[in-house]
């Protein structure tokens, strides 16, 4: 959504962390997300909630997408940092599973390594994936629409607790270029707090808000 800018090394760090979530490369994830916004609730929407909870939650993963269109990834393919993560996605994923094992192994041998791999590797991945899936499913089926009903997006405060603020999904769909998901100071949105803190340190610039979209 180009809601803020940051130095290359900061972006690379975010892309590595994103790879550890096992939600596909940034190139593929972002192009699907762009299409989701452009074709929300229509047949071309990759997570179309009109097809039911299980489809929008995780069912779409198990089927070939007949509506994939490179026009949604054209801009992303011109970004060398995104393409770097795309090329090295597998090593990044492996490192996200190997590091917990290594920490556990150094602390308590094979038992510690296996425990950390299962909890901080496999368990963490399962939790993160399903938390993200809740945005595609729950936040398009149940919740409030305080910012408009142009599509099925909804705000869910409790999903925000699981996803570091992403549950304010109706706001995000209405003002998609805003770097915040929860616009109020009291909205639980650690992502916006992180970005704002980076801006204070000079590591994030050009932060966009809803006022920028309406100008």
* CA–CA dist 116, 193 (Å, integer): 29
124-136 pLDDT, tens digit per residue, is: 999 999 999 999 9
Range of the domain at 187: 8-214
Residue 131 lies in a domain: yes
Residue 2 lies in a domain: no
Residue 1 lies in a domain: no
3-state secondary structure (DSSP) of residue 156: coil
Residue 50 lies in a domain: yes
Residue 3 lies in a domain: no
Structural tokens at position 67: 């509506």
Residue 157 lies in a domain: yes
Residue 125 lies in a domain: yes
Residue 78 lies in a domain: yes
Number of domains the chain is built from? 1
Helical H runs in 39-153?
53-57, 74-77, 80-87, 89-116, 124-136
Mean pLDDT of successive 10-residue segments in the chain (215 residues)? 97 98 97 96 96 97 89 95 98 97 97 97 97 98 95 97 97 97 96 98 97 53
- Find out whether 78 and 85 touch, Cβ atoms under 8 Å: no
pTM, 2 dp: 0.91
14-58 pLDDT, tens digit per residue, is: 999 999 999 999 999 999 999 999 999 999 999 999 999 999 999
The secondary structure of residue 79, as a DSSP letter, is: -
């Amino acid at each position: 959504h180009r809601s803020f800018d940051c130095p290359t090394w900061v972006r690379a760090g975010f892309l590595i962390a994103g790879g550890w979530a096992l939600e596909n490369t940034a190139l593929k994830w972002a192009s699907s997300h762009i299409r989701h916004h452009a074709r929300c609730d229509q047949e071309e929407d990759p997570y179309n909630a009109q097809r039911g909870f299980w489809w929008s939650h995780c069912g779409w993963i198990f089927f070939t997408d007949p509506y994939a269109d490179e026009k949604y990834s054209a801009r992303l393919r011109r970004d060398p940092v995104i393409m770097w993560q795309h090329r090295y996605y597998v090593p990044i994923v492996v490192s996200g599973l190997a590091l917990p094992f290594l920490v556990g192994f150094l602390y308590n041998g094979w038992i510690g390594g296996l425990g950390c791999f299962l909890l901080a590797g496999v368990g963490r991945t399962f939790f993160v994936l399903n938390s993200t899936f809740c945005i595609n499913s729950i936040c398009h089926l149940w919740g409030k629409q305080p910012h408009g009903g142009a599509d099925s997006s909804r705000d869910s405060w409790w999903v925000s607790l699981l996803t570091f603020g992403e549950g304010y999904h109706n706001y995000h769909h209405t003002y998609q270029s805003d770097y915040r998901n929860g616009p109020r100071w009291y909205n639980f949105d650690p992502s916006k707090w992180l970005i704002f803190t980076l801006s204070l340190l000079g590591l994030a610039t050009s932060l966009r808000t809803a006022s920028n979209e309406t100008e």
